[in-house]
Amino acid sequence: MADRLDPVLPGSYLGILGGGQLGRMFTHAAQAMGYKVCVLDPDANSPAGAVAEKHIQADYVDHQALKEMAACCSSVSTEFENVPAQALDELEALGVYVAPRSGGVSVAQNRVAEKKFLATWKAEAGIGPAPHFVIEHATDIDHVAADLYPGILKIARMGYDGKGQITVSNKEQLTAAWQEFGQVPCVLEKRMELDFEVSALVVRGHDDEVLAYPVAQNIHKNGILHTTTVPAPSLKADQEVKIIEAAKAIIRRLDYVGVLCVEFFVLKSGEIVANEIAPRPHNSGHYTQNACVTSQFEQQVRAMARLPLGSTKLIQSTVMLNILGDEWLVDGDRSEPKWHIVLKNHSAKLHLYGKAEPRQARKMGHINFVGNNPSEVDVACAEAIKVLRIQR
Ligand code: ADP
Ligand code: MG
């Protein structure tokens, strides 16, 4: 086995668990640097499998498939948040350099562990989680403090894009919601008065170097990310410093190698709370593809290949607009959106994920609008929303 500190040089294979759009954009970034990519994903038509040199079509915990991956790749990462920790451990036991390792990934996979982690390191990070209470047994419901209502009951595992969440105002509603979730472990979180939402994208190299991208401001519609704007228009400079310091403390405490995203809420009171941790490149970091020196996907490649990290410098103002399947389904008839009109704006950069079937709320792509100042990119984004007849 190569020395742990030796880089994995271009020409080699890098492995990625998960074949969704994040894996596809990772694959493109790796290939641009001369790597080959091996994707493990059970779906025959996965977006990343379609562009990688090698696609192992199997379950994430298929021992044979993991062996095959280990034989091909000396370094493996994950794009799929809910990849079983067991798969990462198994690859590591086979001698593969796994970045991030299962310990950090599993904290982010489980809201109970995540809240506990955020609460434990609140003093060091300077920012903690929202007030919350863990519901694992029916009797826990009796011990919920009255001031957690109205709250949001969130399932501990597998929730995303606002799924697996129910707002509850009292004990009866909480009981009903927990039953609706099948009495699985959940976290009840106090509903906070949000002013706006931001996310911090950080990366840590194998040598403990930690870099942060500028903080991004996010707007969600129906629980799904709608736009990301950078620089964050509502964020004060001192708040940005505080958020970046918190995200850096979190990535270090998780002993995490790779790109990580932390979502934060800025409350009406001015207070900041940490919401959740995504153990991978993140939708709110897609702007880095066209607005920063190094994209989040290239950064993931560098971290897992034990190369020096790239500059996170922002070159231009940017707004990222998410493109959902709804854009193909306007007026009930299915048709390709008018990209040729959108692209009349020379600063619009279109990214589509190669998904054949546009379904409502399905992430199909995004557009990065880049420009010299925030108002220019806002106008460009608003025009595209009109052209695409986005109703959200
Ligand atoms: P997901 O995994 O679906 O992204 P989040 O916990 O990030 O789950 O919640 C999705 C969205 O719901 C957040 O971006 C925010 O808009 C809203 N939300 C979540 N928790 C709270 C809260 N405690 N108070 C107010 N709004 C919340
Ligand atoms: Mg979220």
Q: Each residue of 1-16: pLDDT tens digit?
A: 444 579 999 999 999 9
Rg of the chain over CA atoms, in angstroms? 21
**Reported confidence tier of residue 171, pLDDT bands at 50, 70, 90:** very high
24 or 80: which carries more pLDDT confidence? 24
- 298 C-beta closer than 6 A to ligand 1: no
As a whole number, mean pLDDT of residues 376-380 equals 97
CA distance 40 to 54: 9
Contact between 253 and 121 (Cβ < 8 Å): yes
Q: What is the pLDDT of residue 4?
A: 57
The mean of the pLDDT values for the chain is 96
Q: What is the pLDDT of residue 82?
A: 85
As a whole number, mean pLDDT of residues 39-46 equals 96
As a whole number, mean pLDDT of residues 303-321 equals 98
- 230 C-beta closer than 6 A to ligand 1: no
Query: Whole-prediction pTM value?
Result: 0.96
Calculate how far, in angstroms, residue 252's C-alpha sits from the geometric centre of ligand 2.
21
Positive or negative CA dihedral for 312, 315, 321, 322? Answer: negative
As a whole number, mean pLDDT of residues 51-79 equals 98
**Reported confidence tier of residue 56, pLDDT bands at 50, 70, 90:** very high
Q: What is the pLDDT of residue 333?
A: 82
- 131 C-beta closer than 6 A to ligand 1: no
As a whole number, mean pLDDT of residues 261-278 equals 97
- Per-residue pLDDT tens for 89-146? 999 999 999 999 999 999 999 999 999 999 999 999 999 999 999 999 999 999 999 9
pLDDT greater than 90 at residue 263:
yes
Best residue among 167, 190, 275, 322 to mutate for probing ligand 1, ranked by most atoms within 8 Å of CB: 275
Q: HEC string of 23-56? A: HHHHHHHHHHCCCEEEEECCCCCCCCCCCCCEEE
Q: What is the set of domains in the chain, with CATH numbers? A: 13-98 (3.40.50.20), 131-190 (3.30.1490.20), 194-388 (3.30.470.20)
Tokens of 388: 């695409």
